[in-house]
Amino acid sequence: MSQKLNILTVAGDGIGPEVTGEAVRVLQSVADLGGYNFAFREELIGGVAIRAHGKPLPDSTVKAALDSDAVLLGAVGSNEFNALPPGQRPEAGLLKIRAELGGFANLRPSFAWPGLSQNSPLRAEVVEGADILFVRELLGGLYFGEPRQWDKDQGAAWNTMRYTRDEVVRVAKVAFELASKRRKKVTSVDKANVLEVSQLWRATVTEVAKAYPDVALEHQYVDAMAMHLMNQPRSYDVVLTENLFGDILSDEAGVITGSLGMLPSATIGGKVNLYEPVHGSAPDIAGKGIANPLGAILTAAMVLRYSAGLEDEATAIETAVKQVVSDGYRTADLARGDQSAKVTSTTEMGSKVREVLVGARAQAPAAR
């Protein structure tokens, strides 16, 4: 267990600073309650970095990130820079920091929240109880494979889906390790009926599974999986897949939760882990104080779980979020005109989570 944790925050643009502020305050509460020393340092990324330094990821941010124990990112993106070429836009900073930190396993939990099932377009009886952890390979596959080209003279374009055995082994091990601490099931998703790269994937995952006899392994084709996820999301525990399939399926599974503002993520396995809520900078609501901070707060829980080994504290944050939601508190995105909802601002929602955390701690000795 790490008593001292150096956390770099790169809050970025739009609602990034609003939601990251709440995540940091929750982490500070955890530190105060547990006697931990969490040190926070802030650096720039995205549009704010372009304004200050002329580029979306200044060298100072990269250095601070590599010197930290964990990087907590808000969101990047600002309409002001939409006319810039892709490589100079705020979003380029995000891709670059991911590459600099080198994480290869992207973890995206997706679960149904008690009391929020009406926010999902899926029927309550289908989503209730769903609790899936996606493990998406992030540094290989079609997004990085060479050759890649759009040859305008030939009127043709091509990309390459390529994996090495070692790339599959390392991400599969992450999935099996995580599954062994959860409900002990890995569903590996591929397209092995058509693609050789998927045949390598399937054979390698099957081989890795032998070292985890207590974890059940099943294979699914990606097309079937897209359907099963919506029909029977409760059937899945850890879903392991390659880069492109994971990108699509984890977004699809976001509908189980019902709001983009509730989804956390972590990218692990590199030099320093990178933590970010799934949502973007939401320029349409930035500065209004109404952004949902729960995705960022749940991301903070992942910082404690994966960079500090503070499993109890991570669970305490998640339990506090569940409590606040089941007590009826809702930011505007969750309330959706529900007259019975206790509509809160971003900061009020953060305060509610902290109140529950502190209250749970105060009751803990009596419960023992």
Binding-site ranges for ligand NAD (CB under 6 A): 15, 19, 75-77, 91, 94, 260-261, 276, 279-285, 291-292, 295, 333
Which of 32, 55, 131, 143 is catalytic? The answer is: 143
Contact 97, 108 (CB under 8 A): no
Rounded-to-integer distance, Cα 121 and Cα 192, Å: 31
Task: State yes or no: is 143 an active-site residue.
Answer: yes
Q: How many CB atoms lie within 10 A of CB 336?
A: 12
Task: State yes or no: is 251 an active-site residue.
Answer: yes
User: In this complex, which beta carbon is closest to ligand NAD, that of residue 198 or of residue 259?
Assistant: 259
User: In this complex, which beta carbon is closest to ligand NAD, that of residue 198 or of residue 331?
Assistant: 331
Query: Min. distance of Cβ 16 from ligand NAD in angstroms?
Result: 7
β-bridge pairing 105-111 and 37-42 = unpaired
Query: Min. distance of Cβ 150 from ligand NAD in angstroms?
Result: 22
Which of 13, 190, 237, 247 is catalytic? The answer is: 247
Cα distances from 1 to residues 33, 103, 181, 257, in angstroms, run: 15, 22, 17, 31
Query: Min. distance of Cβ 78 from ligand NAD in angstroms?
Result: 6
Give the nearest residue (CB) to ligand NAD.
77
User: In this complex, which beta carbon is closest to ligand NAD, that of residue 198 or of residue 265?
Assistant: 265
User: In this complex, which beta carbon is closest to ligand NAD, that of residue 27 or of residue 334?
Assistant: 334
Q: How many CB atoms lie within 10 A of CB 306?
A: 21
Q: Which residues contact 8 (CB under 8 A, 6 or more apart)?
A: 40, 41, 42, 43, 64, 65, 67, 68, 70, 71, 72
Query: Min. distance of Cβ 15 from ligand NAD in angstroms?
Result: 6
User: In this complex, which beta carbon is closest to ligand NAD, that of residue 98 or of residue 202?
Assistant: 98
Which of 191, 237, 275, 333 is catalytic? The answer is: 191
Query: Min. distance of Cβ 182 from ligand NAD in angstroms?
Result: 25
Task: State yes or no: is 59 an active-site residue.
Answer: no
User: Given the structure tokens 């600099």, which residue do they identify?
Assistant: 100
| Helix (H), strand (E) counts: the chain | 13, 14
Which of 67, 166, 223, 338 is catalytic? The answer is: 223
User: In this complex, which beta carbon is closest to ligand NAD, that of residue 233 or of residue 295?
Assistant: 295
Q: How many CB atoms lie within 10 A of CB 281?
A: 25
62, with CB counted inside 10 A (0-12, 13-18, 19+), is middle
Task: State yes or no: is 342 an active-site residue.
Answer: no
Query: Min. distance of Cβ 328 from ligand NAD in angstroms?
Result: 18
Cα distances from 137 to residues 66, 93, 171, 268, 294, in angstroms, run: 21, 20, 6, 10, 25
Q: Is 344 helix (H, G, I), strand (E, B) or coil?
A: coil
What's at 19, amino acid-wise? V
Rounded-to-integer distance, Cα 112 and Cα 176, Å: 23
User: In this complex, which beta carbon is closest to ligand NAD, that of residue 45 or of residue 172?
Assistant: 45
**Considering Cα of 57, then 61, then 67, then 73, what sign does the dihedral take?**
negative
Task: State yes or no: is 223 an active-site residue.
Answer: yes
Query: Min. distance of Cβ 321 from ligand NAD in angstroms?
Result: 13
Rounded-to-integer distance, Cα 186 and Cα 178, Å: 9
φ/ψ (deg, to 5) at 357: -60, -50
Catalytic residues: 143, 191, 223, 247, 251
